[in-house]
Amino acid sequence: MNSQGATADPQLQHFIEIETQKQRFQQLVHQMTEVCWDKCMDKPGPKLDSRTEMCFVNCVERFIDTSQFILNRLEQTQKSKGSYSESMLE
Contact residues for 12 (Cβ-Cβ < 8 A; gap 6+): 6
Residue 35 lies in a domain: no
Residue 38 lies in a domain: no
Residue 69 lies in a domain: yes
What's the total number of domains in the chain? 1
Residues 28 and 39 sit within 8 Å (Cβ to Cβ): no
Residue 52 lies in a domain: no
Q: pLDDT for 57-79, tens place per residue?
A: 999 999 999 989 998 998 898 88
What domain range includes position 76? 61-89
Confidence band, pLDDT 50/70/90 cuts, at residue 3: very low
DSSP state of 42: S
Please check the confidence at residue 37 and state whether its pLDDT lies above 90: yes
Average pLDDT, the chain: 84
Nearest to 55 by CA among 65, 69, 42: 42
